[in-house]
Amino acid sequence: MSLSDMSSEMSLGDLRADFPVFADGDPERPLAYLDSAASSQMPRQVIEAMVNFQSHSYANIHRGLYRLSGASTAAYDSARQTVASFIGASDRNEVIFTSGATASLNFLAYSWGEKNIQAGDEIALPLSEHHANLVPWQQLALRKGAKLRWIELTPEGTIDWASLQEALSHRPKLLTFAWVSNVFGTVHPVAKIAKLAHEAGATVVLDGSQGVPHLECDVQRLGVDFLAFSGHKMLGPTGIGVLWGRMSCLEELPPFLYGGDMISIVKRERSSWAEIPNRFEAGTPNITGAVGLSAACAYLSRIGFADIRSHDLMLMEYAIRRLEEAGATVLGPKDLQQRSGVLSFRYKKLHPHDIATILGRDEVCVRAGHHCCQPLMREIGMTGTTRASFYVYNTRADIDRLAESLAKVGDIFHIAPCPCTKIGHKPAPLASDAAPCTQEESCGECSCKLLNQSH
C-alpha cells in the first residue's frame, strides 16, 4: 500500500476502498469527509479486528484462569506493545491506556500537578491550546495558587519565539503545548522547544492529538516527558487514548483513579499499588478499543509516514489554491512545511455555522466554530472559523467538492434579504435580484448581525 505516486488517484482510490463509509450514500453526490481533525473514519481492517476480538476472544483481562480471559489479556498486552513500537517507546509499560487525550491530560493535571505545583509556581502554554490542554492546567493553577504564563503567537499562528523565551525565563515548572494546532494546522518544532524548556528546568507535556496521526512519532527524538493522544483521530475507535511518559517520570506519579486492578495489597488502614502500567489503569479498561487502536497503528505503519506526509502536503497545497481562488481567506502559516492536515478559513464574512450547514447539505463535511480554542479566537477577533481537515482517504476530488459547494454558499448569501425591521427599514423581497441590506447600524437581532456583516 503506497501513496507515493501523487500524480495518480489510483492508489488513493484503492486505499479509499478500505473505508466502508465511502461506499454509502448517493453516487452522484459522494461523501467528501473533511473533518478528520475531529474524528477520522475507520478502515475495515480496524473494524474487523474489533469485531473478531469481540466475537471470539472477549472476556475480562487478568486473573481469569480460563482460555478466553487468557486470550483477551494477550490481545490487550499485544496492543500495548504495538502502540509502544508505533511511538518509539523504549518500554511498553510506559504506555498507559486512557479514554482519550482529554483523560490523559486531566490525569497529568491531577497526578503530576497536585504533587509538583505549589503556590506561586508557573505553568507555561501557548494561547493556541485546545481546551483539553488548557482548562485542566487553568483549574490546577486556581486550586494551587499558581500562575499561567501565556506564550503568544505570530500573525501566521506560529509560536512567537521571543514570547517563548520570555516565558521560560521565569522558569516555569511545566511547559505544555500541542504538536500541531487544531486551528491553524501549525506544526511546532517539538524537539527544539523541549530542549529549551528542559534547560529552563520545566517538565514538558505534549498534546499529540493532531500530530501523532500525521507525523512520524519517536518519543526519544521528540524529547518530551509526557505525550497524550487519542485513537479516534488516527483511524481508531472512540473511547481509547494513550498517555506515554518516561518511566522515570511515571514512577514519581501517584495514582489518580483508585479501584480494581491498580492495587497490590489492600488492608483496612491503607493500600499499596500495582506496578506500572496497571497502577494507572483502575477498573476494567476498554479492551476492544485497545485492539482497535493497535490495528489502526498497524494500518498507518503499513502506509508509512513519509507517504502520509507527502499526501497531506499535496492536499494542503491544492486546497489553499482552490479556496483562495474561491475568495476564501486561509489562516495559518504560508510555509507548507510548517503545516499539517488542518486548514481553517473565513469566507466573505459569513458565519462558519452557516457555511458548514450549507456544505453539509452537499455531503461536504467540515467543522465550524471556535474548535475548543476560545481564548485564541478572542485574541484574533473571531467567533470561529470553518475548518477542513484531511487524511489518508481524501483526494483532490474532495477539495474540488469543497470549493464548488463554497461557491454555492456565496450565491445563497448574495441574494439573501435582511429580515430586520427594528430600525425602520423593510426586508427586501425574496427574489433573485434582492439586494442585501445596506443600513449602517444593526438592531442586534437580524441575520446580518449573526453573519458578522454590518448593515
Q: Which three cell numbers stand for residue 151?
A: 506564550
Question: H/E element holding 126?
Answer: strand 122-126
Question: H/E element holding 59?
Answer: none
Catalytic site residue from 217, 365, 372, 437: 372
Buried b (16+ CB within 10 A) or exposed e, 122-143: bbbbbbbbbebbbbbbbebbee
Nearest to 250 by CA among 101, 115, 122: 115
Q: E strands, 169-308, where?
A: 174-178, 203-207, 226-230, 241-245, 263-266, 271-273
CA angle at 256 for the pair 251 and 259, rounded to the nearest 5°: 105
Which residue type sits at 416?
A: A
Question: Can you tell me whether residue 114 is helix, strand or coil?
Answer: helix
Which residue type sits at 331?
A: L
372 catalytic, yes or no? yes
Cell 512519532 appears where?
217
Contact by Cβ (8 Å): 339, 333: yes
Distance set, CA 420 to CA 191, 211, 349, 431, 445 (Å): 54, 45, 18, 17, 7
Between CA 259 and CA 365 the distance in angstroms is 41
Distance set, CA 269 to CA 127, 265, 278, 280 (Å): 45, 11, 22, 21
Cell 507555561 appears where?
124
DSSP per-residue codes, 152-201: PB-TTSSB-HHHHHHHHHT--SEEEEESB-TTT-BB--HHHHHHHHHHTT
The pairs formed by 158-167 with CB atoms below 8 angstroms and a separation of 24 or more are 158/184, 158/186, 158/188, 158/333, 158/338, 159/126, 159/186, 159/188, 159/193, 164/193, 164/196, 165/196, 167/122, 167/124
Q: Residue 232 has what DSSP assignment?
A: T
Q: Which three cell numbers stand for residue 194?
A: 523541549
Instruction: List active site positions.
Output: 372
